[in-house]
A and B are shown apart, each in its own frame.
Chain A
Amino acid sequence: MGETLGLLAGGLAQAFEPINFTMIIIGCVLGLLVGAMPGLGSVNGVAILLPITFLVPPTAAIIFLAAIYYGAMYGGAISSITLGIPGASTAVATVFDGRPLAQAGKADKALTAAAMASFIGGTISVVLFTLFAPPLAEFALKFGPAEEFALMVLAFATFIGLGGDDIPKTIFSILIGLVLATIGLDIISGQPRLIFFDVSGFLHGINFLVLAIGIYGIGEMLWTLEQTKGEVTVHNVKLSMKEIIKDIKDVKEYIGTTTLGSVLGYFVGTLPAAGATPASLMSYGLAKTFSKQPETFGKGNVSGVAAPEAANNAASTGSMLPMITLGIPGSPTTAILLGGMIIWGLRPGPLLFTEHPEFVWGLIGSLYVANLATLIINLMFIPVFVKILTLPFTILAPTIYILCVVGGYAPTQTMHDVWLMFLFGVVGYLLRKLNYPVAPAVLAIVLGPLAERSLRQSLLSSQGDPMIFLERPISLICILIAVALVLVPVFQKMKRKRKAEQSGQES
């Protein structure tokens, strides 16, 4: 424990270094803005802005992106409350009570509650992260290729079992992401693979950013344009220092549900398919269940704003735990962060703690600082953010498209990748309209090379015997949990069928 505190102190000191602290502030402000924009969330912000992080050293870069992630989680509430449109899916539950509060002229109360709850959620989750990360990383050092592959199977299984989407479409999404990752030179033999029509651009493979920016930049904007038709109505917010202090004092009204939501959010966030959206919805449900006035939920109960906001912030930190310790991202945003780390020459996973402690503890330290910085910036600039939300879509959309095009060009500097990005954006949009989930594909393209390497190494060491995955205890446990997760929807379906039959017989 003493050692952890010492390392944490070092991390905090690192977070206050001028370059890192500047990155935290810029990241928080950009994150708040991105999060507040309807249709844009942390994943879009991180995907679109990752190429510009090549400007700074890796630690500052990850701090910048983590701050965007954090800020976006706070920012999502701003549009949920003032526009009635969730900034991202993670802030959907915030609309339920945030919008009625705004309509009743209490937008300031809702926004302050969202900021305070986000701060509490963020703080609790960062403390949990600090406590759990080192032992988990130490445990993960025992992992060989078989365990690594089994863990990735488990990560993909969570999408099938907990994602709640159409099962064959989810599996298709995972598989296409993995196939896209195989394009280029074979990681073991070096042979060119899947070079369509002999186009040389495929030789360097498909950078995960091309898919991520395509789907979360271009595809998302097309989706948002369709959903909102480019029209939104803003509820004006007037906030004075006196009102903010009064609203902060009201924290005692929702501190209980916020704490519960934070712990729940953290653990749900660590699961790859679950993440911030289900965490916030579950937290909202729990707050309603334990409330003395459940009937006021949905009509403007401040706990209904605080609970999901605490959970989605806690989940964002939670999703970083498997990314840093195991090399398995807990959310699409952390999948992009993981891809970024690989570009910067770092291999996420347990060895990161021993090989690059300054990087890991710098990141953890920055999470504490980013949490506080975002709270202060958020409370101070709420009216400014609300003003920016009135920016017409006809200015926002072309700006995002341009950032996508240059962001897609920057990593490999070929127009081939920009065309691919455009193609992925349009196809991703068309698939999304047919209920194909796109997040598993992004996770899969990041994990693809690691999954293939660990599978082939395992099979090589066992002379092609797939039983290796069931003979090693940790791998066996992962595979068993994965199988159980895949079976969850099957059992749920059987249960529903039996219930329907029973009710049919009774009537």
Chain B
Amino acid sequence: MTVRTAEFVMAIVLSLCSIALMIKSAELNIGWIEGRGPGSGAWPFWLATGMLICCLWTLLRWFRRVTPESRNTNLYMSHQTMVIVGTSAGAILFLLAATHWIGLYASLVFFLLFYLKYVGRHTWVLTIALTIGIPVFIFCLFEWALKIPLPKAITEPLFYPIYDLMYS
């Protein structure tokens, strides 16, 4: 897909999102309520209307080839960019999805192993040191210092002995 096509597609998608927001806002009162002022939906409704106008404005500029992007026929995502960005985005996606199932700490181990060994091709010593060190640091900072428990899902029972140590 070229940058020119991408700008067009993006403007269309954002227009549809704006219309959806207008419809969703209109489920609430978007008019004037006597003694209470504008209804709950009025502010988001008019903001979404403004968003739609901006998208249509961008589309008009696209048709007239005013924006630099509308004249750019280079690839929006080169193969190299797809690989670099896709790998990162895919790895984060896995991290988040796996967190629901095996908890954050176990997911972090797999995420770091993949990133450091497969993507970075670092030595096993460095990979293992960071794969253990980073989750331990996160645990100490959030669970111990900030008292913010992070999601552990099915791995929760594994942490009971550590909780005993922390809170005894």
Q: Interface on A for B, CB 8 Å cutoff?
A: 51-52, 54-55, 166, 168-169, 171-172, 175-176, 178-179, 182, 186, 188-189, 191, 193-194, 196, 218, 221-222, 225-226, 229-230, 392, 394-395, 397-399, 401-402, 405-406, 409-410, 413, 415, 418-419, 422, 426, 429-431, 433-435, 452, 455-457, 459-460, 464
Against A, the Cβ 8 Å flags (1 = close, 0 = not) of B26-41 are 0010001000111011
Q: Which of B7, B48, B80 contacts A434 (CB 8 A)?
A: B7
- The winner among A168, A419, A430, A459 for most chain B CB atoms within 10 A is A168
C-alpha spacing A171/B51, complex, angstroms? 8
Q: Known A397-B115, A464-B37; judge A226-B134 contact (CB<8 A).
A: no
Determine whether B163 belongs to the interface, using a CB cutoff of 8 Å to chain A.
no
* B96 pairs with A415, CB closer than 8 A: yes
Task: Please state if A169 and B58 are interface contacts (CB–CB under 8 Å).
Answer: yes
Least Cβ–Cβ distance between A324 and chain B, in angstroms:
27
In the complex, which residues of chain A have a beta carbon less than 8 angstroms from the beta carbon of B99? Answer: 415, 418
Contact assessment for A456 and B28 in the assembled complex, using a CB-CB cutoff below 8 Å: no
B96, A193: Cβ atoms closer than 8 Å: no
Q: Are B32 and A415 in contact (CB under 8 A)?
A: no
- B65 interface residue per 8 A CB criterion: no
Does any Cβ of A come within 8 Å of B136's Cβ? no
In contact, A52 and B54 (Cβ under 8 angstroms)? no
A429 (CB) vs chain B CBs: closest residue: B85
B40 close to A460 (CB less than 8 A): no
Is B69 a contact of A434 with CB atoms below 8 Å?
yes
CB distance from A184 to the nearest CB of B (A): 11
Contacts of A196 in B (CB 8 A): 24
26 contacts between A and B (CB under 8 A): A52-B146, A171-B50, A172-B14, A172-B51, A179-B47, A182-B43, A186-B28, A189-B36, A191-B28, A191-B40, A194-B21, A194-B44, A225-B85, A226-B85, A392-B120, A394-B115, A394-B116, A394-B121, A398-B91, A401-B92, A406-B138, A406-B150, A413-B149, A422-B93, A434-B3, A459-B37
14 further contact pairs, Cβ within 8 A, besides A221-B88, A415-B99? A172-B58, A179-B44, A218-B92, A392-B122, A394-B122, A398-B112, A401-B111, A402-B112, A406-B104, A409-B150, A410-B142, A410-B148, A413-B148, A434-B10
The smallest C-beta distance from A106 to any residue of chain B, in angstroms, reads 34
B106 CB-CB contact with A under 8 Å: no
**Chain A residue nearest to B89 in the complex (CB):** A426
What separation, in Å, do the CA atoms of A51 and B150 have in the docked complex? 13
- By beta carbon, the residue of chain B nearest A191 is B40
C-alpha gap A435/B71 in the complex (Å): 13
Which of B68, B93, B151 is close to A409, meaning CB atoms less than 8 Å apart? B151
B28 touches A193 (CB 8 A): yes
**Contact at B37–A402, with CB atoms within 8 Å?**
no
Q: Check A431/B10 contact, CB under 8 A, given A168-B61, A171-B54, A226-B81.
A: yes
Q: Report whether A194 and B24 are in contact in the complex, using a CB–CB cutoff of 8 Å.
A: yes
CB of A394 within 8 A of CB of B120, answer: yes
In the assembled complex, the Cα of A52 lies from the Cα of B40 at a distance in Å of 34
Q: B116 touches which one: A166, A178, A218, A395 (CB < 8 A)?
A: A395
Nearest-neighbour CB distance to chain B for A429, whole angstroms, equals 7
* Structural contact, A193 and B85, CB atoms closer than 8 A: no
From B25, B134, B150, A399 is in contact (CB under 8 Å) with B134
Neighbouring A residues of B43 by C-beta, 8 Å: 178, 182, 452, 455-456
How near does chain A come to B31, taking the closest CB pair, in angstroms? 10
With A54-B146, A409-B151, A410-B142 as known contacts, state yes or no: A169 contacts B54, CB within 8 Å. Answer: yes
Chain B residues with CB under 8 Å of A459's CB are 37-38
Please judge, given known A-B contacts A193-B44, A402-B138, whether A435 and B68 are in contact too, CB under 8 Å. yes
- Answer whether residue B124 sits at the interface, using C-beta atoms and an 8 A cutoff: no
- A392 vs B99: C-alpha distance in the bound complex, in angstroms? 26
Closest CB in chain A relative to B137 CB, distance in Å: 9
Q: List A contacts of B151 (CB < 8 A).
A: 409, 415
How far does the Cβ of B38 sit from chain A's closest Cβ, in whole Å?
6
Residue of B nearest to A458 (CB): B37
Residues from chain B with Cβ under 8 Å of A54 in the complex = 146, 148
The residue in chain A whose Cβ has the minimal distance to the Cβ of B82 is: A226
Closest approach, in angstroms, between the C-beta of A212 and any C-beta of chain B? 17
For the complex, give the distance between the alpha carbons of A127 and B42 in Å: 44
Roughly how many angstroms separate A467 CA and B137 CA in the complex, as a whole number?
56
